Amino acid sequence: MIKFGEIEAEQILRNEFAVTCLEMVLDFIGQNNPGLKISDKKEQQKIRRKAAKILKEKYPNTKIELVKEKNK
């Protein structure tokens, strides 16, 4: 078993897959429902900061930090 801090590698891959699917579904919904209010880049950044804070509290020994992603 491979672990990164407290987190198993397999769990990281499952989570990455689930998050990617959710992002694609949300993009599809936003693009196909013009009247629907969706979050802008600023709101998405606030959401990412909040999520990072929650994960830091859940996994205190992993040194999780929010970094700027390219192409997002």
Q: Domain check: are 27 and 51 in the same one? A: no
Q: Domain check: are 2 and 34 in the same one? A: yes
Q: Domain check: are 69 and 44 in the same one? A: yes
Q: Domain check: are 16 and 30 in the same one? A: yes
3: left (phi > 0), else alpha (psi -120 to 50), else beta?
beta
Q: What's this model's pTM, rounded to 2 decimal places?
A: 0.65
Q: Domain check: are 16 and 3 in the same one? A: yes
Rounded average pLDDT over 20-37:
93
Q: Which residue segment(s) compose the domain that 32 sits in?
A: 1-38
pLDDT in tens, 38-72: 888 899 899 989 999 998 898 888 788 888 766 54
- Which tokens sit at 21? 């699917």
Per the structure, the count of domains in the chain is 2
